[in-house]
Amino acid sequence: MRHGDRMDRFEPLWASTAERPWDPPLIHHGKVRAFQTGQRISSQVSFPVHRVFVSPFLRCIQTAVEVVAALSAVSSIDNSKLKVAIEFGLCEILNSLAIKSNVAPKDGKFDFNISDLEAMFPEGTVDHNVDMVYKELPQWGESAEGFRERYVNTLKVLAQKYPSENLLLITHRGGVSTILYKYLKDATKRLVDYCGCVDLRRQDGFGESVDFEVVTSHGVSFREHNVPIHDPQTPPTTIRAAMASCANSNTTDEYQNILMMRHGDRIDKINPLWLDTASRPWDPPLVQDGLVRAFQTGQRIRSQIQFPIHRVFVSPFIRCVQTASEVIAALSAVDLNPHATSSKDVISIDKSKLKVSIEFGLSEMLNSMAIMPEVAPKDGKFDFNISDLEAMFPEGMVDHDVDPVYKEMPQWGETVEECTERFLGLVKTLADKYPLENLLLVTHGEGVRTTFATYKDVDTYDVEYCACAELRRKVSSQDGSTKAGGFEVMTSLGESSADLNTTDGYQNILMLRHGDRIDRINPLWPDTASRPWDPPLVQDGLVRAFQTGQRIRSQIQFPIHRVFVSPFIRCVQTASEVIAALSAVDLNPHATSSKDVISIDKSKLKVSIEFGLSEMLNSMAIRPKVAPKDGKFDFKISDLEAMFPEGMVDRDVDPVYKEMPQWEETVEECTERFLGLVKTLADKYPSENLLLVTHGEGVRTTFATYKDVAVYEVLSQEGSTKAGDFEVIGQAGIKYHSLKTTAVPCVKWY
């Protein structure tokens, strides 16, 4: 079995600050996938697992912990005697093909504290009497022949050593691929997804002459067309793939799949000043993070969906063309380097994979709701040099024979209804035009939103950068003619949506870090400041805070009732901007700060200052040379409260922490403070949604403790309140509330 989803594939910058960049942990989704794989093994295999052997790399250990927990929770199979042991022979391939040289240890020595790793498993599970097959790690720079021999030898020795026991080996992609190659006796290239498994079996008698056979696999597909090599229960979701039809029928049922995807992160939302000097301010390109996000989305589509993409249609706006270019590079790369982060890392493209076309009908909504009038073309004409845009794709991949559905751009000033009709009509037209092909449509937030709203029966949600809505419909071919059914929305890749029906209420807590502080922009600021330990925000920080308030207002599906704020000036300024955005009457969509807000609805929410949300008070967070000499951080609360709109401060609230924490509190004390405060405030106001404006450590601590989904559940029972535990939402793709439910969890796209 391969480990789950690793951190550095989803957060490329993680390695730049990690102490052990060569040993990434799992992301939360990886842990969930590992646990679910353990559940699948328990429910589907007909034998108990007696022993688990695991690579010492952290991502494998964490995977094994989740799998063991799932296996041990099932009563139908006796896994009570399951034992775990760490095995160096199962470790990652130790060369620069698998581990980038710039993150590998400089001395080539990969060190592991085995006792710490073993302590991650339930007490009594680890078998300390097991001798490893490989007593030490392979040498850095091992050859392809070397690691293949290592993996096969480890498997054989362990099987020979425990002939009457069933084994689970948790390793890396190279290990699973090697075993597949060895025992399937087939050189066809395969993709092994995170938590991909291969089930091997051999007959009784066991001697070395008795070889293994591959029984089945899960999460392993043919690289050429991404079709699973084993999975008899998978529905026929693939177009243009080998599909069995009934021998006594001339009718074939298949599925057509359409992905609607939003572009990546655009520059004007990151750097608002870009507009001032841009020649085409209405057509912002992507920032570097947007290119990376787009490429990673392409990698995710490639590794996780169970059908090939045949055609890509793209809005002519540069941000969409750049997004499509990165996605296509990831989808079409030959022997894709697992460490690649953008199209620049792709050496060779398979140009036969798919075709791309620019489609005016996928354009941004052309009105002042989506494009500010001051940046729109004065004559209302949005001009694009199509040949220049097409040149951004690999040569030979643009299909010049395709006639666009919309021969020209929509008219400036189109209504929301006209835009909705345009997107829905376009999806239907393209699907009907290419009924036997799977399509990827790269467009704008409104396009994804409209499509999702129509086919999912939802009312409110938001669309993140590079978020996807997956549509599917059945296509029947009979006697040369094609008949298509209606579309259904897949809430996540390969999983149909389901209506939820619950009457449970939800309490929501938002933990928000302050905006950009001046001492991080101007390091000389503390030299002349009277309170160098209490830096204010820079202008960009105020703008960012206001925009965050706008985003909360437009995208979350619940009201904020109370705001609690750290007394540090940067948090108070942040909260002031956020509150202005949340409480503005008839908020101007072009407003950039609280100065642009004319009128405030003071009944919207209440705000209070809370000492418990303060910065971590030690030299790790505040340099001793700028901290108060006496260790006393003084705040004039009345001056801070005066920064909020009159009448919005709730002076009847007693703070949880009546005074500031002590200087030089430990990390553990700080963690306990933040977690205790969140729980106390939530319990104090169980029927209200809270916004807590704090510092990086507060958000980090909360996220680290509760990362799963982002709601605080409150069940009403006979007038009393029963609260569930906290869970954290990760980076969401499409958030929505069903018309039929009171609350629906997020659809996540990482």
Question: Quick check: 481 pLDDT over 60?
Answer: yes
Question: Quick check: 205 pLDDT over 60?
Answer: no
Q: 251 φ, ψ to 5°?
A: -110, 135
Torsion of CA 198, 204, 208, 212, to 10 degrees: -20
**Which of 444, 349, 438, 430 shows the shortest CA–CA distance to 397?**
349
Question: Quick check: 397 pLDDT over 60?
Answer: yes
Pick from 608-612, 666-670, 709-713: least confident: 709-713
Q: What is the pLDDT of residue 502?
A: 28
627 versus 230: which is more confidently predicted? 627
Length of the chain: 750
Q: Which residues on neighbouring strands pair with residue 621, listed in sequence order? A: none
Whole-number percent of the chain with pLDDT over 70: 81
Pick from 358-372, 398-412, 592-606: least confident: 592-606
Burial bucket for residue 339 (CB in 10 Å: 0-12, 13-18, 19+):
middle
Q: What is the pLDDT of residue 221?
A: 56
Q: Which residues on neighbouring strands pair with residue 392, listed in sequence order? A: none
Q: Which residues contact 567 (CB under 8 A, 6 or more apart)?
A: 609, 610, 611, 614, 635, 637, 640, 660
Mean pLDDT of all residues in 280-300: 91
Query: CA-to-CA distance for 505 and 330, rounded, in angstroms?
Result: 41
- How sure is the predictor about 219, in pLDDT bands with cuts at 50, 70 and 90? low
In 521-561, DSSP assigns E strands to none
Mean pLDDT of all residues in 507-513: 89
- In degrees, rounded to 5, the angle at the alpha carbon of residue 53 between the alpha carbons of residues 48 and 55 is 145
Q: Which helix (H) or strand (E) holds 92?
A: none
Asked if 745 contacts 460 with a C-beta cutoff of 8 angstroms, the reply is: no
Pick from 155-164, 274-283, 334-343, 619-628: least confident: 334-343
Query: CA-to-CA distance for 116 and 130, rounded, in angstroms?
Result: 17
Taking every pair of Cα atoms in the chain, the longest distance, rounded to a whole number of angstroms, is 89
Mean pLDDT of all residues in 338-352: 83
Q: Which residues on neighbouring strands pair with residue 51, listed in sequence order? A: 83, 167
Q: Which helix (H) or strand (E) holds 93?
A: none
Whole-number percent of the chain with pLDDT over 90: 43
Question: Quick check: 749 pLDDT over 60?
Answer: no
Query: CA-to-CA distance for 631 and 613, rounded, in angstroms?
Result: 18
- Summary mean pLDDT of the chain: 81
pTM of this structure: 0.43
- How sure is the predictor about 739, in pLDDT bands with cuts at 50, 70 and 90? very low
